Chain A
Amino acid sequence: MQKLRSIAELERLRSRILRRRNGTKKYVSVCGGTGCHAYKCQDVASALEGEIRRQDMGSRVELKVTGCHGFCERGPLVVIYPEETFYQRVSPADAVEIVSRTVGKGEVIERLLYVDPQKNRVARSEAEVPFYRKQQRIVFGKNGLIDPTNIEDYIAMGGYTALPKALFEMDPEGIIEEIKESGLRGRGGAGFPTYQKWQTCRSAPSRDGVRYVICNADEGDPGAYMDRSLLEGNPHAILEGMIIGARAIDAHDGYVYVRMEYPLAVKNLGVALDQARQYGLLGQNILGSGFDFDIKISRGGGAFICGESTALMASLEGHIGEPRQKHIHTALKGLYGRPTNLNNVETWANVPVIISRGAKWYSKIGTEGSKGTKIFSLVGKVHNTGLVEVPMGITLREMVYDIGGGMRNGKKLKAIQTGGPSGGCIPESLIDLPVDFDELTKAGSMMGSGGMIVMDEGTCMVDMARYFTKFLTEESCGKCVPCREGLDRMLDMLTDITEGRGSEGDLDLLEELGGVIKEASLCGLGGTAPNPLLSTIRYFRDEYEAHVVHKHCPAGVCKALITYSVDEAKCTGCRVCARECPEGAISGEKKKLHVIDPAKCIKCGLCRDLCKFDAILVSWERWEYD
């Protein structure tokens, strides 16, 4: 491939690709995202490939292994274009039929279609699946259509149209102005206006004129994976955004800091970088514009704190990921002491969309203070889990019931946790809350990276607070006292409460400690770490009191506060539980009622899990009750 040297050459290439592809109108897209990988989608892809070859259809149809489509729950997913026939839970054995019937004759295979469990309605195409219907996928939508390892796919889909515009038609101030008008705010958590950062960084003095742009792909939130899916599925969108940003800021070096737990993302990104360089879209004299810019990949070492800007930069320089005081912002003095602009993956991916479709169009989406869309990872106790991209301002109700398809197992919604470990729990009573940066903050939570965990009556809020506190205690860098020692003691107290050793006054002390950790910590980790605790105390104080005063876990989760027993009516005496109990706590003869010895039981829950007759009961100890 010859380097492209002008817009004209890029456009010629684009029309050549499109012309060539006109012949093969059909294509079969197999999701190759991490979720579907776990369901062995690679076997499905190779079966389909073999079948296409065997039935000699290679010239008419193309097979594409794409990035995540979002609906990971129902993987492996296969979509046949142009009809958009949507198949889920596909196995390699289905390949023959898919190729001969659907691809060959345009027939639909009923058994592979998605059935909406609520209304019992069958969906033929992606658009008919309720999970996708309320979404507006301006950033994430291309994921299902392109092969991330082939730059031509991205170009054919209209990729790299924003870049020439930014290079030749706009000056740097103009780009920043456009981003300002779009109202784009950072998707990494705090929602800081993107243009403002760019502006500061651009005008910051640098002793040798060097400036950096960095893409934050550390994604440490334990329940969110949109950045990973974007990197894996559409890396060029991020690159294009970064090149435009670099041009606006006048930077010539960029970094992508990726979590090392994301090997596929690193691989696809590496391929994308090589291809962009080959095509003259990265490197010296991009598209003949005279602008130079290149990007390096840096793999993180597995530390949540390295998502924080100063820690990330320390780690890029080869030090431990320890934050520093941010009295001088990184936009002024960041990596190697030079002005540095750091943005999240999703923020970067929004940039080309804004530049090519215009700030006016973009700012029509969303709410007053939060423009555009946001990708959430909707997980927990709803029917449909996966990645969803929705316009800002959508209500939690729509998220849970329309997109999520309602609660599993007919249980009642209790709370929604947003914002990951720095966020908070929003109770069911606020279900009509519109989701945007400001509303979530007002409710005591935050947008964060976009994790959204739906919880039902079976989730214990004290246990949830303990879970997040434990995560943060382990992930605290350990530099400053309030966070290192404070979180550790907070965890001790929460553990005591969940194990029935809580005492009166604990809640007040927890609130006092939480308040101080929040205000006195050095960086944003400590500064937000008490949120899960404080928000659950705020909305679910009675549940805490049940644990502290009555030694009772209303959700039946906290091990120390529950007992296992056998339901006389249901036990068939099959002996499975007695055989498997690791402590030998279950006794009983064949075909007769079994009993659990509470003194020996360690409450591992194995018996409940293994019993085919649902005969193991969980009940709450109620010492001191009444």
Chain B
Amino acid sequence: MRIDASKVDRIVDAYGCHRDSLISILQDVQAECSYLPEDALKRVAKRLKLPLIQVYGVATFFKAFSLQPRGEHMVRVCLGTACHVRGAPAVLDEVRRQLDVEPGETTEDSRFTLETVNCLGACALGPLVVVDSEYQGQITPGKVKRVLKQYMNDGRGK
């Protein structure tokens, strides 16, 4: 993906070209591009007059950032304590099997990216799976297929 430098510039300028705002800037860039392309990071480093490695270091340190393009749908399985106690690991195994990817990866047809999260703050509903921003509460391995199916044939995308 070629990234429009002016888009990055606009974000950097919105934060007054301030180095302290690096994390916020990267968050906004990611919101814009859905991930952090190499060119964008280089542009950010240049504008903030930071060594590229510092920007790269921050981008790889925080879990929120992704240097790889992500799939159309984000599938997030909560592995918070409450969900764990109620059987989230088995749910994760099933999602992995259904999508045939490991957490952090994207399916080959770039439809789904699987991620695990530690607590989404809705513990009372666990085990919890969130697809895009739809919360699916009290999921069991048996329900996984049905939930994912809704997104498999939704006619959107390619």
Direct touch of chains A and B (CB < 8 A) = yes
Is there an interface contact between A72 and B122, defined as CB atoms closer than 8 Å?
A: yes
Interface residue from B61, B62, B122 paired with A38 (Cβ < 8 Å): B122
Is there an interface contact between A604 and B90, defined as CB atoms closer than 8 Å?
A: yes
Is there an interface contact between B20 and A317, defined as CB atoms closer than 8 Å?
A: yes
Is there an interface contact between B19 and A72, defined as CB atoms closer than 8 Å?
A: no
Which A365-404 residues have a C-beta within 8 angstroms of B? 377, 379-381, 385-386
A508 to chain B, nearest CB (A): 27
B72 to chain A, nearest CB (A): 20
Is there an interface contact between A318 and B21, defined as CB atoms closer than 8 Å?
A: yes
B105 to chain A, nearest CB (A): 16
Q: Which residues of A contact B63 (CB under 8 A)?
A: 301-303
Is there an interface contact between A379 and B82, defined as CB atoms closer than 8 Å?
A: yes
CA distance A455 to B87 in the complex (A): 12
Q: Which residues of A contact B23 (CB under 8 A)?
A: 298-301, 315, 318
What is the chain A residue whose CB lies nearest that of B119? Answer: A222
Q: Which residues of B contact A605 (CB under 8 A)?
A: 87, 90, 141
Q: Which residues of B contact A304 (CB under 8 A)?
A: 118
Is there an interface contact between A459 and B85, defined as CB atoms closer than 8 Å?
A: yes
CA distance A298 to B120 in the complex (A): 19
What is the chain A residue whose CB lies nearest that of B48? Answer: A318
Q: Which of B54, B57, B61, B121 counts the most A-chain CB atoms under 10 A from its CB?
A: B121
Interface residue from B27, B62, B90, B124 paired with A73 (Cβ < 8 Å): B124
Is there an interface contact between B85 and A225, defined as CB atoms closer than 8 Å?
A: no
Is there an interface contact between B64 and A301, defined as CB atoms closer than 8 Å?
A: yes
**Per-residue contact bits, chain B 30-68, to A (CB 8 Å; 1 contact, 0 not):** 000000000000000000000000100110011111000
Is there an interface contact between A417 and B81, defined as CB atoms closer than 8 Å?
A: yes
Whether, in the assembled complex, B73 has its beta carbon less than 8 Å from a beta carbon of chain A, the answer is no
Q: Which residues of B contact A298 (CB under 8 A)?
A: 23-24
CA distance A73 to B137 in the complex (A): 11
Is there an interface contact between B125 and A582, defined as CB atoms closer than 8 Å?
A: no
Which B63-115 residues have a C-beta within 8 angstroms of A? 63-65, 79-82, 84-87, 90, 93-94, 97
Whether, in the assembled complex, A224 has its beta carbon less than 8 Å from a beta carbon of chain B, the answer is yes
CA distance A321 to B22 in the complex (A): 12
Interface residue from A225, A321, A386 paired with B119 (Cβ < 8 Å): A225
CA distance A528 to B90 in the complex (A): 28
What is the chain A residue whose CB lies nearest that of B134? Answer: A38
Is there an interface contact between B142 and A225, defined as CB atoms closer than 8 Å?
A: no
CA distance A239 to B127 in the complex (A): 33
Is there an interface contact between A606 and B124, defined as CB atoms closer than 8 Å?
A: no
B111 to chain A, nearest CB (A): 20
Is there an interface contact between B24 and A379, defined as CB atoms closer than 8 Å?
A: no
A501 to chain B, nearest CB (A): 19
A43 to chain B, nearest CB (A): 13
**Per-residue contact bits, chain A 260-282, to B (CB 8 Å; 1 contact, 0 not):** 11100000000000000000000
- Given A260-B27, A320-B57 in contact, is the A301-B65 Cβ separation under 8 Å? yes
**Per-residue contact bits, chain B 117-137, to A (CB 8 Å; 1 contact, 0 not):** 111111111101000000101
Which A22-48 residues have a C-beta within 8 angstroms of B? 34-35, 37-39
Q: Which residues of B contact A303 (CB under 8 A)?
A: 61-63
Whether, in the assembled complex, A542 has its beta carbon less than 8 Å from a beta carbon of chain B, the answer is no
Is there an interface contact between A262 and B121, defined as CB atoms closer than 8 Å?
A: yes
How many chain A residues have a CB neighbour from B under 8 Å? Answer: 58
Whether, in the assembled complex, A119 has its beta carbon less than 8 Å from a beta carbon of chain B, the answer is no
CA distance A220 to B120 in the complex (A): 10
Interface residue from A316, A320, A381 paired with B61 (Cβ < 8 Å): A320
Q: Which residues of A contact B19 (CB under 8 A)?
A: 318
B28 to chain A, nearest CB (A): 10
Q: Which residues of B contact A514 (CB under 8 A)?
A: none
Whether, in the assembled complex, A517 has its beta carbon less than 8 Å from a beta carbon of chain B, the answer is no
Whether, in the assembled complex, A319 has its beta carbon less than 8 Å from a beta carbon of chain B, the answer is yes
Is there an interface contact between A301 and B61, defined as CB atoms closer than 8 Å?
A: yes
B85 to chain A, nearest CB (A): 5
Q: Which residues of B contact A318 (CB under 8 A)?
A: 19-23, 58
Is there an interface contact between B81 and A420, defined as CB atoms closer than 8 Å?
A: yes
A224 to chain B, nearest CB (A): 7
Is there an interface contact between B141 and A467, defined as CB atoms closer than 8 Å?
A: no
CA distance A211 to B79 in the complex (A): 38
Q: Which residues of A contact B21 (CB under 8 A)?
A: 318
Interface residue from A315, A377, A459, A464 paired with B123 (Cβ < 8 Å): A377
What is the chain B residue whose CB lies nearest that of A72? Answer: B124
Is there an interface contact between B81 and A453, defined as CB atoms closer than 8 Å?
A: yes
CA distance A77 to B27 in the complex (A): 34
CA distance A582 to B128 in the complex (A): 22
Interface residue from B62, B87, B125, B128 paired with A301 (Cβ < 8 Å): B62
Interface residue from B54, B62, B65, B125 paired with A35 (Cβ < 8 Å): B125
Is there an interface contact between A385 and B61, defined as CB atoms closer than 8 Å?
A: no
What is the chain B residue whose CB lies nearest that of A451? Answer: B81
Interface residue from A379, A604, A606 paired with B81 (Cβ < 8 Å): A379
- Given A417-B81, A455-B85 in contact, is the A385-B123 Cβ separation under 8 Å? yes
Q: Which residues of A contact B117 (CB under 8 A)?
A: 261
Whether, in the assembled complex, A228 has its beta carbon less than 8 Å from a beta carbon of chain B, the answer is yes
CA distance A459 to B97 in the complex (A): 25
**Per-residue contact bits, chain A 596-625, to B (CB 8 Å; 1 contact, 0 not):** 000000001110011000000000000000
Is there an interface contact between B64 and A302, defined as CB atoms closer than 8 Å?
A: yes
Is there an interface contact between B120 and A261, defined as CB atoms closer than 8 Å?
A: yes
- Given A301-B62, A606-B141, A606-B142 in contact, is the A224-B119 Cβ separation under 8 Å? yes
Interface residue from A223, A229, A301 paired with B27 (Cβ < 8 Å): A301
CA distance A459 to B81 in the complex (A): 12
Given A221-B119, A379-B81, A379-B126, 5 new contacts (CB under 8 A): A34-B121, A72-B125, A303-B62, A379-B82, A604-B141
Q: Can you name 27 A-B residue pairings with CB atoms under 8 Å?
A: A34-B121, A39-B137, A222-B79, A222-B80, A222-B118, A223-B80, A223-B119, A298-B23, A301-B23, A301-B63, A301-B64, A301-B65, A302-B64, A303-B63, A316-B20, A318-B58, A319-B22, A320-B57, A377-B123, A453-B82, A459-B85, A467-B81, A471-B79, A471-B118, A604-B93, A605-B141, A606-B142
6 smallest A-B Cβ distances: which pairs? A301-B62, A223-B81, A38-B135, A225-B121, A318-B22, A302-B64
Enumerate chain A interface residues (CB-CB to B < 8 A): 34-35, 37-39, 72-73, 75, 220-225, 228-229, 260-262, 298-304, 315-321, 377, 379-381, 385-386, 417, 420, 451, 453, 455, 459, 464, 467-468, 471, 475, 477, 580, 582, 604-606, 609-610
